[in-house]
Amino acid sequence: MNPPATAERILRAARVLFEREGVAAVSMRRVAEAVGITPMAIYRHFPNRDALLKRISDDSFQEIAHHWSARKDGGDVIARLLAIQRIYLDYALAHPHLFDHAFSIRREDARRYPEDFRARRSPTLNVAADVVLEAQQAGLLRAGDPWDLAMTLWAQSHGLISLYRAGRFSYDEREFRAFYEASLARVLDGLRV
C-alpha cells in the first residue's frame, strides 16, 4: 500500500489541528511541522491558507452529505427527514470547529439562499430538499417550494444546535437530544398536510 500523497497528508494534519483547536490553529507552519515538510512546500499543493481551509470545509460538507444520502432512500419519508436532522446534530457535536466554520462563520465562498441552493450547489441541502419533495409527492407534507421547506427544517436544526452550543440550554446532551427531536417533530407536524 502506497503512503498518502503529500496533499492528503497536509489535509489530514490541517484537519487534526482544526478539529482539536479551531481555525486559528491552522497555520502553514504548524501544518508543515505535523507533516514533516517546510511551510513553503505546502504552497505547491494549496495556493494559500484560505484554499486549505476551503478544502477542509468542502470535505466536511461532502462527509455530511454522504451520511445524509445514505439515509435518504427507503422506508418512511418523515422518519428519513428526522434521521438526516439527527445526523446534522451528531456532526455538530462530534466536530464543533468544523461545524462552526462550515455553517456558522461568514465566508465569502459560502453558498447563498436561494440561488445557490436552487442551482443544487449545496451537497447537504440537496439531500434534504429531495426528501422534502418526495414527502410532498407522497401527500405527507404541504405543497410549496421544497427548498423553502428544507431551509425551514435546516434553520430549525441549526438554530437549536447553535443555542445549545452557546450554553443557552441547561440540558445535558441526552436531554438536549430529546428536546431537539421533539422540536423537529413539532415543526414537521406543522408542515404536514
Mean pLDDT across 9-38? 95
Domains of the chain, by residue range, sit at 1-46, 58-191
pLDDT digits (tens, 9 = 90+) for 5-21: 999 999 999 999 999 99
Class of domain 1-46: mainly alpha
pLDDT, average across residues 86-96: 92
Question: CB-side exposure of 155: number of CA atoms within 13 Å?
Answer: 8
71: pLDDT confidence band, cut at 50, 70 and 90? low
Span 132-158, average pLDDT: 96
- 93-135 tens-digit pLDDT: 999 998 888 888 888 888 899 999 999 998 889 999 999 999 9
Q: Return the pLDDT at 176.
A: 98
| Per-residue pLDDT reduced to its tens digit, 163-179 | 999 999 999 999 999 99
Please tell me the predicted confidence (pLDDT) of residue 36.
96
What class has domain 58-191? mainly alpha
Per-residue confidence (pLDDT) for residue 30, from 0 to 100: 97
Nearest CA among 60, 164, 163 for reference residue 103: 60
